[in-house]
Structure 1
Amino acid sequence: MTSAFVRLPAGADLGSALVGQPGDLCQCPHRGYIQKGRVASSTRAVDEVYEAGPAFYWAPGHTPHALEDAEYAEFLPTGEFNALIDHFKAQAGRDRSGGVQHCSDAQEAWPPTVTARVRGVELSENRSEALTAWAQDFGKMASQDALVDSFTERVDAVITKQIPEIANDPILVQDLHRSTRAEWREFVESLREDHRLVRPGQGADLARSLARRGLDLGILLKVYRVSQQSVFQFLTEIIDGASEDAPARDEILVFLWGLGGQWMADAVESLIETYYEERRRLRDDAAVRRAETIEALLGDAPPSADDATRLLDHPLSHWQTAYVVWAPEAGSSTTEAMLDIANAVAQALGASRSLTMVAGSRDLWCWVATPHEPDLAQLAGLASALQHAGMQAAIGRPDPGIQGFRTSHAEARAAESLALKAAHGRALVRFDEEELLILVSAQETLMRRMVAREVGPLCGADKNLALLRETVLAYLTTLSIEATAEQLFVHKNTVRYRIARAEELLGHPLSQRSTQVELALRWVSLFGAPSDAI
């Protein structure tokens, strides 16, 4: 790692010095912070302006130029930096107009008008006693849950904003959160001089999920590219808040940024290897052919039903019921456990087996084909099996043919997304039961307001209120005293008493505004009561 302090006069443009580099752009990554002035970094796609204060990251493929007199400190990988200097020297040999300004310890051959002070940086050796003590104190502070959560939320917000392929997939979002949280904890541990950096398994889970979903490696690389500036800005703010008795700011910057750069570089290298290992495993497995056919069926140009039926050994002319099975954590036996649940669902719906696709490190996409429309009520008994296995499942509505294969899957994914947002994780979620809630769940503020208005008197931690909510919801679903009693394993008179008590608290019979009441109670069963409804 090399550090440099650079001064640029207004109007200085390094573009001419970069002619001959790939694309005539700088191929060396820069991490740093502007101390004075404004600097623009231009790529083929966009110009970004950086001002004094925030940290910056310039990925390979850029050209810097000063919009006004500017000074900045930066940290660069030594190998790429030396290659850049060699190129500058070659350029200087061809064009000597203007000469090179430099301080006493500058590397020669910087372009005209650029002043640079350059030195190598040892990242883990020769720490001062003061820096060692500061690093230990920082490590204790940075490993606290509140700061870990703050870091994770901040970095992941940047990633999901720029990468819709992750933002629109709730399982990938969860994998991202776990990966970021685990990587940060490992980075904090690396501040100890005797610690050997070990890549956490959660990062590998994210790489495997991206590979199994057929997403391009560029998505994984973009995760780290777009997060870099956010990470270094976070570190800079921590450094700016250091106490007066802390080591010099530049000393901490060199230490933290250097270690952070190495940490992220190692992470990228390791996860690229994990990604390609998973892709090779898929290519060598018959499952890849099944996955490609399924992806085609879900895509814009699905194959014919006959061809897909033959390739998948799955009768696409039958009724199709799609479902998703997922686990809270990835482990060595997770896939086998998910397959057991998938088979249990198939048997409950009257099929001998299911069509499955391992979609990530801890989620499984499944379809069951039946000659007649299956009865989803037969799945009620699976909730206890799912809870025992520590799994969850989301079920789409049955529909026939390829169209049913597609729509039922989309509905299962929508039900999965709802379940993953819920405060109370229900083991089994059916789209047909939660369709209205899924459609309105994006309007959270309005939904909470409706819950408080419609069922506020039934909300609260009191267990008797919980029994009233459960009974009213079951009754509004079945519209039968007898069926509600059977479902809840209570006497019919108990059901009648609870309904009467609920109507008394609500101030109107359940025959009025029944749709709104049912929707509000479904919301409470998944997300809990809003604070203003208690």
Structure 2
Amino acid sequence: MTSASLDQVTASTPPPDAGVRLPAWAREASDGVDTAALEDRVVEADLAAAFDTLRDNDEFVTRLRASVVENLRHLHQVIAGRTDLSEVTLVEPFALARLQARLRLPQTALQRSYRVGFLAMWHEWSDRLVERAECDDVPRTESLEALRGMTALLLGYQHHVASQVADSFARADELLSRSREHVRNGLVQHLLREDSTPLPPSDLALLDYPLDAGHVTVLLPAMPEGAVRQSLNALREACHTRDILVHPVGPTGTVVWLAHARPPGWRAARIADLTGYLRGLGIEASVSEPHAGVRGVRAGWLQVQDVQRVRAAWGAAGSPRVLGHLDVSLEILLMADPVKARAFVHAELGQLGADDDLAARLRETVEASHRWGSHVTTAEHLHLHEHTVRNRLQKAAELLGRPLTERRTELQVALRLARLLTERNGRADGPAVPPPVSPGAPG
């Protein structure tokens, strides 16, 4: 006897019967299922079939796994005959359904995940049952009846769970759909897609933000949406604009677009006012360059993500609280290939690129010397004695193996990259922000 597909086995299976009870050998076979390994397979199957864009969303994957674990535990008890279906009480599947509604995932994705997830469970339990039947030389008729009964129990459990979860999803989705901000968030998600189409007039009115204006994007990775909204009036005054679009990014972050619809638009002075205001708040903020039009909304979002990745590589202790795209555009360009960047730093700096405190102090002094010019000014900005600066520069040249005036441009670039690539600052190629907002994954 071999395990067939679920569709083949259930084609002639009657409606699930709550009174089904498997024979003892079949119940014992059900205990042979490795539920921990099955958990991983079901989670992967669900992600691949319905939620592939959410693989990097830690909150979602955690909820999905918790739901799978709870369903496996209850289903195991039902098949083994230790729990009646009417006694099953669910928690995690409902929490996952509410999260799916909040993420604006279609109910078809939820239904697809349940189909593939329970199919994977059926294959595992049916394989164990078939193996036990063959091992014990169970008569074919009895084996088929046991497989039929196990399938009925699994389908009964699936129906019991899926119907309740679908109702929970529908109620949560209805409540969220009544929220204007939720609808606006969906429109923002649409705009951030690479293949987004123009919004109709009704949606533009609901968005209430001039998409044809000039935009500056600000990512506040540690400031929740509610806190941002409490500061909107002050932000409007600081930037001399009334048009602001706020969108949540994950449970603790927010991205903000600020618009200037009329000339002179985003002059340097206005951007300086914005960054000054953000510095006054004392929070982390990544700021884009100005971009125009609908495409500018997405361009700014991509830029602030790039800035945040540089910040993560730089390290929380070393990077400025407010960091603009122009400040690190060179690093963004060069860090597109971290392997080549590391090779370049190693070739240019040699021993000066060592990952220790002495080399770090020397690099800081050389970089400041390039920036400020004279030893006196460098000493003032580093709060050092002029002789200390001279000594450090001499030592840096010794480690470098050449005068600091040779290959000056390459040296300056290598120094900027070195602060991102040292292990003390974390890996430069690691994730810095939640995955880009995509349709159905707003964070």
TM-score by length of 2: 0.58
Equivalent residues in 2 for 1:87-98 (5 A)?
none
- The structure 1 residue matched to 2:287, chosen from 364, 385, 395, is 395
Partner of 1:182: 66
| 8 Å CA contact retained: 1:349, 1:378 | no
2:224 matched to 1:323? no
Per chain length, whose mean CA-contact separation is higher, i.e. which structure has more relative contact order (CA < 8 Å, sep 6+)? 2
1:321, distance to aligned residue in structure 2 (A): 0.9
> Take 1:366 and 1:217, find their aligned partners in 2: how far apart are those partners?
29
Verify the 8 A CA contact 1:155 1:230 in the aligned structure 2.
no
Q: Tell me if structure 2 keeps the 8 A contact 1:424–1:528.
A: no
Is residue 355 of structure 1 aligned with residue 245 of structure 2? yes
CA shift in 2, pair 1:515/1:463, >3 Å? closer
Report the residue type matching 1:528 in the other structure. R
Cα distance in 1, alignment partners of residues 314 and 122 from structure 2: 32
Percent identity, aligned pairs only, is: 21
1:159 alignment counterpart? 47
Residues 282 and 162 of structure 1, relative CA distance in 2, 3 Å threshold: closer
Q: Which residue of 2 aligns with 1:336?
A: 226
In the alignment, residue 413 of structure 2 is paired with which amino acid? T
- Residue 140 of structure 2 corresponds to none
The letter of the residue matching 2:40 is F
2:13 pairs with one of 65, 81, 87: 81
Instruction: Select the residue among 408, 414, 425 that pairs with 1:511.
Output: 408
How much has 1:290 moved relative to structure 2?
7.4
How far did residue 355 of structure 1 move? 1.8
Partner Cα distance (2:51, 2:106) in 1? 12
Q: In 1, Cα distance between the equivalents of 2:332 and 2:253?
A: 20
8 Å CA contact 1:396, 1:431 repeated in 2: yes
Q: In 1, distance between residues paired with 2:366 and 2:156?
A: 57
Alignment correspondent of 2:439? none
Deviations for 1:91-141, whole angstroms, at most 9, x for unmatched residues? Answer: xxxxxxxxxxxxxxxxxxxxxxxxxxxx98659x98999789979xx78xx
> 2-side partners of 1:442 and 1:161: how far apart?
31
Aligned to 1:368: 258
Measured in 2, the distance between the counterparts of 1:346 and 1:520 equals 38
Which structure has greater helix proportion? 2
Post-superposition CA distance 1:394-433 (Å, at most 9, x none): 43222344443342133234545x3798695777664444
What corresponds to 2:92 in structure 1?
A: 199
Quick check: 2:32–2:128 contact (8 Å CA) kept in 1?
Answer: no
- What is the DSSP-based 3-state SS (H/G/I as helix, E as strand, rest coil) of the residue aligned with 1:82? coil
**Residue 276 of structure 2 corresponds to which residue in structure 1?**
378
Q: Give the corresponding residue for 1:277.
A: 172
In structure 2, what is the Cα distance between the partners aligned to 1:448 and 1:277?
49
Letter in 2 for 1:273: S
The 1:405–1:457 alpha-carbon spacing in structure 2 relative to 1, beyond 3 Å, is same
Letter in 1 for 2:63: S
* CA spacing shift, 1:358–1:453, aligned 2, 3 Å: same
Paired AA for residue 159 in structure 1? L
Distance 1:475 1:260 in 2: 73
Contact 2:214-2:266 at 8 Å conserved across structures = yes
Residue pair 2:98, 2:168 contacting (<8 A) in 1 also: no
Deviates more, 1:491-500 or 1:366-375: 491-500
Q: C-alpha distance in 1, partners of 2:48/2:385? A: 50
Task: Find out whether 1:210 has 2:103 as its counterpart.
Answer: yes
Match for residue 26 of structure 1?
A: none
Q: Which amino acid aligns with 2:416?
A: E
Structure 1 pair 308/266, CA: closer, same or farther in 2 (3 Å)?
closer
Structure 1 range deviating more: 424-433 or 273-282: 424-433
Q: What is the alpha-carbon distance in structure 2 between the residues aligned to residue 521 and residue 410 of structure 1? A: 23
Provide the C-alpha distance between the structure 1 equivalents of 2:186 and 2:377, rounded to a whole number of angstroms.
Answer: 42
C-alpha distance in 2 between matches for 1:507 and 1:260: 73
Give the direction of change, closer, same or farther, for the CA distance of 1:457–1:291 in structure 2 (3 Å limit): same
* In 1, Cα distance between equivalents of 2:238 and 2:173: 32
2:434 alignment counterpart: none
CA-atom RMSD, angstroms? 6.1
Return the alpha-carbon distance in structure 2 between the equivalents of residues 486 and 230 of structure 1.
Answer: 68
**CA displacement at 1:199 relative to structure 2:** 0.8
For residue 385 of structure 1, give the secondary structure of its aligned residue in structure 2: coil
Of 415, 420, 426, the residue aligned with 1:522 is: 420
Deviation at 1:181, TM superposition (A): 4.0
Between Structure 1 and Structure 2, which shows a larger proportion of strand residues? 1
Q: Return the letter of the residue paired with 2:247.
A: M
CA deviation map 1:453-484 (0-9, x unaligned): 556746676444555566667777x5667998
* In structure 2, distance between residues paired with 1:470 and 1:276: 57
Mapped to 1, the partners of 2:346 and 2:151 lie a distance apart of 48
The SS at the match of 2:296 is: helix
CA contact (8 A) 1:327 1:338 kept: no
Describe the shift of the 1:178–1:343 C-alpha distance in structure 2 as closer, same or farther (beyond 3 A): farther
2:132 matched to which residue of 1? none
